[in-house]
Amino acid sequence: MSILHFGTDPNNRKELGAEIEIMVEGQPLTINKTSALFVPKGVKHGPLTWKRFNRPHIGVTIMLGAGTLAEADPGGHRQ
């Protein structure tokens, strides 16, 4: 799975405009710049928490081989 975050400031595309924390194998990872994170199959990750939010930004998750919502989110999905 790949997790992408893009800043929307046209004058500074590297600045995300937020601070996001994601747990990867029980360790916190802080994201505050435009970035891409690859999480190999089987690596425990989540939750993803917004710690700070200054401006709109774009977040994209890419899951290859997940044809249904149940396959993409085996832990369950809340409406």
Give the model confidence (pLDDT) of 56-71 as tens digits: 999 998 888 777 777 7
pTM: 0.76
Residue 77 lies in a domain: no
Residue 72 lies in a domain: no
Number of folded domains that form the chain:
1
Residue 73 lies in a domain: no
Give the model confidence (pLDDT) of 18-52 as tens digits: 999 999 999 999 999 999 999 998 899 989 999 99
Give the domain range for residue 58. 2-65
Tokens 């690596």, located at residue:
43
For residue 72, the surrounding DSSP H or E stretch is helix 69-72
Nearest to 41 by CA among 23, 63, 68, 17: 63
Q: How many CB atoms lie within 10 A of CB 36?
A: 12
**In this structure, are residues 22 and 31 in contact, taking their beta carbons and an 8 Å threshold?**
yes
